Structure formats: structure tokens, C-alpha cells
Structure 1
Amino acid sequence: MSEQNCPCGLASYAMCCQPLHLGVAQAQTAQQLMRSRYSAFALEQIDYLVATTALGQQSALDQAAIAAWSKANQWSGLEIVRHNEQLSKQHAQVEFKAHYHDGTQARTHHELSHFVQHAGQWYFLDPTTEQQWAMKQPCICGSGKKIKHCCAVYIN
């Protein structure tokens, strides 16, 4: 029996995203985190998606909606368009196309995502949470900086 391919398309699941999903490894780059998040959508691993979103945004996520979207679609492939691992010392960007079938037709979700590294771990900055930011409040990533000096430019 051959090993299961990873949904992100790089290697076998056991050698690619599974160690991240199981918590025995951490993403070393924003691109690796992006790939593991795509695989988590494909495999309906909602807890992983929440855990890899910026710390200050996790409570604002609509987990039921994420789970419904994950389950409702047949995920067919991930294409990394481009990536910049150093927008700043702790910020990165990944442009990707997630291919899926919604039960009616093939679709592509094209996104330019931003990520932040805090305490050695990469997190997704979710621009869709309906949170209001005060520019002088502590940053959502946990850096201790004011949000205006950290992640604000990447989530607006």
C-alpha cells in the first residue's frame, strides 16, 4: 500500500503536513504554514486552523462556518503563486490559489495572505475577523508592541 499523498501536493502526508497537524513539528516558514493550513481545510482539521491563526484573533473565528466550508468542498490542489518570507523581521506573505469543487463546479480561491512569527511560531493573520482595532492596543500577535507598529498594516 502506498503512502497517502499530502493534500498540499508536496510529498506524502506523513512526511509533509501530518507532523504539523499532530503538533510534533512547527512550520519553519510562512509558506509551510500556508500549505499545512490548506491541508487542514482539506482534512477538516478545524482545531489546527484555529491554533495557527494569530493569538488575538482566535476567539473571533467562526469555527462553525470554517468547518462547514471545509466539509462542503472537495479540495483538489494548492498552487503557491509567490511568497515573500521577509516583509519585515517577523512578517511574511504568501499568494496562493486553492482549487476545489463546491458540488456544482470547480472553483479557485485566490488569496494574498499575511503571516506573523511570534515566539518562534508562524501564525496566519486573518483579515476577515470582524474585530475593531485601536491603534494603541497591544498587537494581536502577542509581540507586546502596539498594533499600529506591528500587524495593523497586514490586516487592514
Structure 2
Amino acid sequence: MSPKRCPCGTGLTYAECCGRLHDGTATAGTAEQLVRSRYSAFAVGDPAYLLATWDPATRPPSLELDPAVRWTGLEVLATTGGGPFDVEGTVTFRAHARAGGADHLQAERSRFRRADGRWLYTDGEVDGGVG
């Protein structure tokens, strides 16, 4: 049996890709990598990682994930900034999910900032939703 592929769509195994970020052995080097790891956190049901990578100024006090939502794919459409030497960036993406027997799409342009060497999700403009 082959190792499980990462939900974020890079083609790498989960352990080689977002698993390293989720378990704390690595941090996202770019805003896009943070988007991918946050998507994977939704897919594997890891709200602690989502909260840990959310800007404290905009982070909710808690986060509950709906176990009925099955995340089925991520498309990164565009990035602005968010590179290894940037302090801010945006990533536009589409996240696909299935819930209640129907397909759902969430399109978002997310904003990120780097603080103490770590990328954090600040907020985003959402077009569409799950549920």
C-alpha cells in the first residue's frame, strides 16, 4: 500500500508535505504553502493547526469543523507577494468539498502576514461557501 497523498494536491505524501507543518516539525515558507497546509488541516480535521496559524488579531476563540464536510480538492489560482522574503501576501484559491450529498465550492482571496518569521492567515474575501 502506498503512502497517503497530501490533500493539498502537490502530489507529495502527507508526511512529506503538510504533515510536517501540522506536527510542528516545519513551518510554511510561503503564503501559498500556508494556504495548502490550512486546506489540508480542514481535510484531516485539525482545528488546532488552523487556530495556531491564524493571526491573533482576527482569530476566533475556537473553531469546530463539520465532520460531514469532505474536502475534495484545492486549486491555487494566483499569488501576490507571500514569498520567502515578503512580509505580506495574498493567495486566491478555490476549495472543493462535498457535504449533504452535494458538491460545494469556496472561492477566496486570503491575506497573510509574516510575524516572528511565521506566515499567518489574516482574513479573506469569500465568494461562495460550504454547507
Which category describes the TM-score, using the shorter chain as reference length?
A: 0.7 to 0.9
For 1:77, what is the secondary structure of its paired residue?
A: strand
**Is 1:79 equivalent to 2:75 in the alignment?**
yes
2:16 alignment partner in structure 1: 15
> Larger strand proportion, structure 1 or 2?
2
> TM-score, normalising length from structure 2?
0.86
Q: Which amino acid aligns with 1:63?
A: L
> Larger helix proportion, structure 1 or 2?
1
1:95 alignment partner in structure 2: 92
For 1:41, what is the secondary structure of its paired residue?
A: helix
The structure with more radius of gyration? 1
Q: Percent same amino acid among aligned pairs?
A: 39
| Residues 9-56 of structure 1 deviation map (CA, whole Å, 9 limit, x = unaligned) | 111111110000000000000000000000000000000000000022
* 1:114–1:124 Cα contact (<8 Å) kept: yes
Q: Which amino acid aligns with 1:102?
A: A
Q: Which amino acid aligns with 1:113?
A: S
1:34 alignment partner in structure 2: 35
* 2:91–2:109 Cα contact (<8 Å) kept: yes
RMSD: 1.9
1:113 alignment partner in structure 2: 110
Q: Which amino acid aligns with 2:94?
A: K
Give me the whole-angstrom Cα distance separating, in 2, the residues matched to 1:73 and 1:32: 22
> TM-score, normalising length from structure 1?
0.73
**Cα displacement (A) at 1:127:** 4.9
Give me the whole-angstrom Cα distance separating, in 2, the residues matched to 1:31 and 1:56: 21
Stretches of structure 2 lacking an aligned partner (at least 5 in a row): 126-131
